[in-house]
Amino acid sequence: MKITDAAVWPYPAGDSSVRRLALEARELGFDSIVAIDTPPSTYEGMEILSGILVREGGMKEVMSRVKRAKGTHAVISVQAGDAGFNRAVVGLRGVHILRGIHAADKNGFDHVTAKMAADNRVAIDIDISALIAARGIARQRALQRYRDVMVLENRFAFPLTVSSNARSVLDLRATREISGLLTLLDMDLPVIERALNGVDVVTTPVPSPVRVIP
């Protein structure tokens, strides 16, 4: 199992260098991190994966970024939008993670999108910064949305990822603390372990069902 934080923002987007984030993440129990807009590398035994986050521009922009990132081994995440956009994104080959479900439309992630995500092995990201930083109604809404996602996950078994969305080493959390936070979403230990291993699942290529024998 490779425990991965699915999104961190190193300097200059945040206040910590990518190496420092990697160092702290290793101490907190992670094996690798996905650093947005950062080249892939390894530091002190920690694997730093390159990440691309598409946040705006619609489907055309998503297709363009996916095309450009082909062959770079970058983890491509797309910010969720309305139901139509999410279905299109989940159906697009090359997209690894759909993130920001808690901030998307109320009906943005339905059973059809969940089934498509399971079929195409696109992970749904759980952003723990929404549970940590938010208070009151914002946190209640995030908890409600993620609980709804978990109902669909129980039925369709699509991949999950967990991200701290950290812009600083102070935003990172230990794997045990993340487990504690995820139990608030009624997730049990095997599901939490699967979610922490989610990036490895979606980035590993699926073996072709057809094998050519020479």
Partner 1 sequence: MTVRPPTLRDRRRYLLVRVDPTGTPVDQKELYYAISDSVTSLFGDVVAAIMVQAVICAEGDRHIVIRCRRGTERELATALSTITACRDTRIALRIIAASGTIESLRERLRQKTSGNAAADGTAETTPAEDVTGDGAPVSPVPPGPAHGDLTFGGKEYLVSNCDGQKVDVIEKGFKNTHRLFLTRSDLEEP
What is the binding site for partner 1 (CB under 8 A)?
A: 11-12, 15-17, 19-20, 23-24, 28, 43-44, 131-133, 135-136, 139, 168-174, 176-177, 180-181, 183-184
- Of 113 and 163, the one with the shorter C-beta distance to partner 1 is 163
Least separation, in Å, of the C-beta of 6 and partner 1? 18
Tokens of 106: 């109320």
| Run of H or E including 50 | strand 46-54
- Of 43 and 156, the one with the shorter C-beta distance to partner 1 is 43
- Of 44 and 56, the one with the shorter C-beta distance to partner 1 is 44
Least separation, in Å, of the C-beta of 72 and partner 1? 23
Helix/strand/coil for 194: helix
CA–CA separation, 86 and 109 (whole Å): 7
Least separation, in Å, of the C-beta of 126 and partner 1? 15
| 37 contacts 77 by C-beta, under 8 angstroms | no
Least separation, in Å, of the C-beta of 87 and partner 1? 33
Tokens of 90: 């989940």
CA–CA separation, 51 and 77 (whole Å): 7
